[in-house]
Amino acid sequence: MPFQRTTKIRDIMTRKLETIGSTASAHEVAIKMRDKKVSSVLVMDERYGIPLGIVTERDLARKVCVTDKNSTQLLASKVMSFPLIKVNSEVSALEAADLMLKNKVRHLLVVSTESQQEKRENGINEDKDLLKPVGIITPMDFIRYKLVISSGYLSKDSHEDNDTKRILEYYKNDANFD
């Protein structure tokens, strides 16, 4: 049986990952999104440096604009979507798409596992696996990948092509998707 390449999420994710502190205002989030030309910003805990949630254009529209709240007074932590749905960069694109569909989200945080040794108070070294944010995956990433494939820049098998079509059809047809 011939080898079939499975597309990993790291192959199609957006590597442009913008972050902002949880105490930033919704106004600052919107400005950063505009200036960096991104559709989402990862909200980070300033003290521990860990991701808390994500603010998307949709979050700004639904939680700030239509409620007529003052965007300079509203904190990113109050606007963000959480809990964050994460996916390992080594999973297949199909698994990531299924995770998005199952959780009804349009943005997944892509993480990689990084091993680190930490010295405890008693002097014993402890191995810890840390999840490091490396990108974001959105429906647009699947569409971009599909366009690259159909233009002939990459080759892939027909099974994978059918999976991509199914994913794109779902997003196109689901009017109640958040």
Q: What is the per-residue pLDDT for 24?
A: 97
Query: What pLDDT, in 10s, does the model give residues 110-133?
Result: 999 876 556 666 666 655 557 789
Q: What is the per-residue pLDDT for 165?
A: 61
Q: What is the per-residue pLDDT for 27?
A: 96
The Cα-based distances of 68 to 63, 76, 143, 155 in angstroms read 9, 16, 33, 48
Q: What is the per-residue pLDDT for 69?
A: 85
- What residue ranges of the chain have pLDDT lower than 70? 1-5, 115-129, 147-178
With the C-alpha atoms ordered 66, 142, 14, 131, is the resulting torsion angle positive or negative?
A: positive
The Cα-based distances of 161 to 9, 60, 69, 155 in angstroms read 15, 34, 44, 10
Provide the β-strand partners of residue 135: 110
The candidate with the shortest Cα–Cα distance to 107, out of 81, 130, 88, is 81
Distance between CA 122 and CA 178 in Å, rounded?
A: 48
The candidate with the shortest Cα–Cα distance to 110, out of 61, 27, 49, 42, is 42
Q: What is the per-residue pLDDT for 116?
A: 59
Distance between CA 162 and CA 98 in Å, rounded?
A: 14
51-56 and 40-44 as β-strands: parallel, antiparallel, unpaired? antiparallel
Cis peptide before 83 (omega within 30 of 0): yes
